[in-house]
Amino acid sequence: MNLIVTLAIVVLAAALLASAVRIFREYERGVLFTLGRYTKVVGPGLVIVIPIVQQTVTVQLRTMVVDVPSQDVISRDNVSVKVNAVLYYRIVDADKAILNVENYSIATSQLAQTTLRSVLGKHELDEMLAERDKLNADIQEIIDRQTDVWGIKVSNVEIKHVDIDESMVRAIAQQAEAERYRRAKIINAEGEEQAARKLVEAGEILASSPNAMQLRYFAALHDVASDGTNTIVFPIPIDLLSRLQGEPAEG
């Protein structure tokens, strides 16, 4: 009988000792409570707690990833889109993460979803597609500011996909094509305008210098003569023709 009692005492003592020992890894911390009251943050390494009297809640300090589910967003220009994102955060104050919010992981995910809808709803569709870096920074700043009281640091937010209705995709493609056509017409008109100005300037220069006109005339003849199949007709200057008409015929 004494042997059984002794064995029971040894087993109980071993169980109590095992429950009193906590080992926390380098990326873990323990929030220690004594009779239900917050005491301190312990770890990493070996920690001894008083069984029954003290309890610990383990918190990870590594960066955690939250996949923000696809959200229905109506942009400022009344376009309905579906947007999802990914959120990276880590706990910097383990006691705040346990004491100030019931479930910091769920709370952070829900906050990210509402912030995503709120921020993107203030922007037009073109901004969602072209200015993702700016939107990511705005969303990250808002979430980080609100989770600070939970001891959480939001390091990054990335918008993954912006899904648009098929009819809207066609409309955007038509708009892009019309914009390219408009730019092409503008560039062509600007080129015509510049060419016309250069021609006017060249004409004024040639008109002010007869020698330059003659050189341009000879250059044109040289270009034409380079092809042996061309027939060259030399024009007679008008002033020379008028002089010939004014002279009396011989004989």
Domain that holds residue 230: 173-243
Residue type, 25: R
91 band by pLDDT with thresholds 50, 70 and 90: very high
Which CATH number belongs to the domain containing residue 74 in this structure?
3.30.479.30
Q: What average pLDDT does range 190-198 have in this prediction?
A: 82
Q: What average pLDDT does range 217-243 have in this prediction?
A: 59
Judgement on whether residues 137 and 69 belong to the same structural domain of the protein: yes
The domain boundary residue, chosen from 122, 142, 164: 164
Instruction: Please give the structure tokens belonging to residue 129.
Output: 């597609």
> Whole-prediction pTM value?
0.62
The structural domain count of the chain equals: 3
The domain boundary residue, chosen from 106, 132, 164: 164
From the number of C-beta atoms within 10 Å of its C-beta (0-12, 13-18, 19+), residue 127 rates as middle
* Residue 1 forms part of a structural domain: no
pLDDT in tens, 100-140: 998 999 999 999 999 999 998 888 888 888 888 899 999 99
Residue 60: which of 114, 35, 97 has the closest Cα? Answer: 97
pLDDT in tens, 168-177: 666 666 767 7
